[in-house]
Structure formats: structure tokens, C-alpha cells
Structure 1
């Protein structure tokens, strides 16, 4: 289990933690899951502007205003509850010889737009083959 603070970053790279978790295992599937109703996990390129592009796109798709029926919390908090329909709360990565089989530019990231709760838990599990 990972404890992540998203106060400063809305997209947090989890790739090194996933690699560390998988290193002691052989072949199988690694599942990365966030047990939160307002966060998700994605596989994207990071460090080349894609993480900022993702945030910009999500802000356009999910504006923080008063249009949402789910209206408690900070302004636009209802958008946070729609996020997991667009950015899944989990991803599964194949693993071979203890190495996640990610592409050259792929990273596993936590995506969290919620300003009301920056403390997140990420659960890692492994299913061996």
C-alpha cells in the first residue's frame, strides 16, 4: 500500500513504486487501485507535457462550477466524483520476470483533481501466473 499526498501535484508518477513492488515477483499481473470515489489511475507519458495536457483536458471536460448535483465541499467538487468515469480507479499491468511490461514512454500515474482530500491510498496487488 502506498500513501500519497497530492497537495502539490495532481498527477503523481507511481511507476517506480510499481516496479519496486513487482521486482520480488515473477510472471503475472500487477493491479494498481485507488479506493477513492474522486481519483483514478492512468498509464500515460510523463515529463514531456502529457501530464499537464491531461490536467488541462480534464479541467475542460469537468469544469469546477455549480452545475453538479453533488454539491458539498469546494466549488465544483461534483466534478471530482465524475472523474473516475473518465480515469479508471484501477489499471492492470502485465509482469514478466519481475518487470512491469510498460512501453518505453509509459508511466503509471495517480490522477487526483480533488482539492478537498489530498491524502490518497494506492493499493498494489499481484496475481501470479
Structure 2
């Protein structure tokens, strides 16, 4: 049994989904592990991870708009230390999650045909986000 770990940096430009599938795929290929389990962790409380459709760009826009309806900026939150988008970003990250677990077989993630891995930025301004990756297998 072998293990590999890495921290990937993802630049964002504001609210939206940034596909990181290629970056993760390249790292798995470099690991030399053919079969195992990949774990990804977004190391932030105002951004998250998701697996979502990677064919129709409209899906990403619809998701951002839907999350904004669920956690609007003008809801009168007590926590607004970093501005009105602060608490809504925490709620959106809680709803979408910060970890993913993906099986790896033949050196490839077992994602479906239309699935991609995305970092979801919930803040108004861009950030440099970190994703911790861990792969265990043979």
C-alpha cells in the first residue's frame, strides 16, 4: 500500500465554479498509484468542493444563483466580520461540503462521463484557495 499527498492552489475571480479535474488527474498520473481512493479537502470555510456536470456551462451559473437564493447577503446575519458576503459564504460551503472521496481504478478517477471536480468560490472577490489531496492505494 502506498500513499501520496499534495496541496494544490486554485486561483478564483469571485463567485463561481472553477474546474480542477485536469489538475487532479495530472497529479494522480504522477503518483503512479493505479488503484485506490482519492480524498480532497478544501482548506477554507468560505469555499467548497463539488462534483458536477462539466458539459453545459449554464449549470455552473444556475448553481451560483441558486446558492445565492438559499443564503442571501441581506438576511441580517450577526457574523459580518469580512463584509456582507462573509456569512453567506460560510453557509454555502456548509451546504456544498469541503471534502470529496473518489475511487481510482487503472490510474484514473472513476467519475461519470459528464462529471468534473470543481472548487466553488462563495466570496465576491477572488482568492487563492488550497485543496489538500491524499491518495492511498497500490
Q: Which residue of 2 aligns with 1:22?
A: 28
**Within 1, Cα distance between the matches of 2:41 and 2:86?**
21
Note the alpha carbon deviations across 1:26-56, whole angstroms, 9 max, x for none.
1011111111111110000024111111111
Distance 1:117 1:72, change over 3 A: farther
Structure 2, unpaired ranges of 5+: 1-6
Q: Which residue of 2 aligns with 1:99?
A: 108
**Within 2, Cα distance between the matches of 1:25 and 1:111?**
27
Q: Which residue of 1 aligns with 2:128?
A: 119
The aligned length equals 129
Q: Structure 1 stretch 47-56 or stretch 1-10: which is displaced more?
A: 1-10
Equivalent pair of 1:74/1:115 in contact (CA under 8 Å):
no
SS at match of 1:17: helix
Distance 1:52 1:61, change over 3 A: same
Tell me if 1:89 matches 2:98.
yes
Q: Which residue of 2 aligns with 1:36?
A: 44
Considering only aligned residues, what root-mean-square deviation do their CA atoms show, in Å? 1.6
Structure 1, unpaired ranges of 5+: none
Q: Which residue of 2 aligns with 1:77?
A: 86
TM-score by length of 2: 0.85
Equivalent pair of 2:52/2:117 in contact (CA under 8 Å):
yes
Tell me if 1:11 matches 2:17.
yes
Structure with greater proportional strand content? 2
SS at match of 1:109: strand
